[in-house]
Amino acid sequence: MPTTHVLNSGSTNHRSQKHNDGHLHDNNKVNGKIEEAGVRVNKAFRQTHSRREADALVASGRVHVNGTKPEPGTRLQPGDVVTLDGKRVAWERLEPTSKKRQTKETAASSKAASTPADVRQSMKKFVYIAYHKPKGVTCTTDQKDATNLLAALQRAGVEKKSKNQRLFPVGRLDKLSTGLLVVTSDGRVPNAVLAPDAKYQKQYVVKPHERVTDEHLRELRSGVIITTTAQRKGAKPLTAKTMPCQVDRRGDDLCFTLEEGRNRQIRRMLEALGYRTLALHRPSFAGLKLHGRTAAPGGWALLEGDELDVVAKWLK
């Protein structure tokens, strides 16, 4: 019989506690009954919304857990980051059940660490992976999508190093794009590195359908008016000029270095000036680069050494 994915997206059927491997995962027995680990995502809003209202928030797409949209049955674990309309929700403080289940180790890791050594210590229980996303993989954890990220990671063998933890991407690359994608089980990372005031640099090498003129190159550097929509239901389109950025030539290709990260930003910038994007590749992200085992599409590696120091700086 096939086994279930160990790269848990949070959308599995939580009423069925026994996995196909015959083992019970992340559950406790209370008064002779199986108790599911974590708390349902709707309970993150227990002090401000009714259960029905909280369910509606989740269904509308306004709620994110660790940067991705949860399913109604998703259960939160200590350390998960919950946001509503982009604003962080202090659900662990509001939800006493979560506090009861936290171990001292988990509670310590979810607090802001005061020194680099504290940060590195708090990172030991999590997994941090560099993945070279190939073309055709969608940055979603929804297993209803056949091209979802978790399925691609499973095919690549990441599950052997995932410590049976729920993994999710930090940021996104669209389905047609390739390059470095950070995957982790640490819910603190997405907000730390993607917050608007974080200003970490991401580099992209882009192939337009024809050579960009010098005049258009200057426009790309100074900013182009584009319309983008945040990836959540009900979000209103934003029409605004992009922030100034570094754009250099690489033959007929262009190399963009961005600090902001609007949805499909580079493709829309080029489209606004009459260019089609034939290929888009991200070789570096917030201080990390593709190399060695991650040099080829589909390659992956656990972050280690200096790379973990980069992650620690994100979390400081």
Chain-centroid distance of CA 244 in Å reads 25
Q: Pinpoint the alpha helices (H) of 103-256.
A: 104-110, 116-123, 149-156, 189-194, 214-222
- Any idea how long the chain is? 316
Active site residue 186: no
**227-to-12, 25, 197, 234, 276 alpha-carbon distances in Å:** 35, 44, 21, 15, 16
Active-site annotation holder among 174, 186, 197, 306: 174
Q: At 165, give phi and psi (nearest 5°).
A: -100, 155
C-alpha–C-alpha distance, residues 69 and 44, integer Å: 14
- DSSP E strand boundaries for 209-276: 225-228, 238-241, 246-250, 253-258
Q: At 71, give phi and psi (nearest 5°).
A: -85, 160
Kindly state the tokens that stand for 172.
């996104």
Which residues are designated catalytic? 174
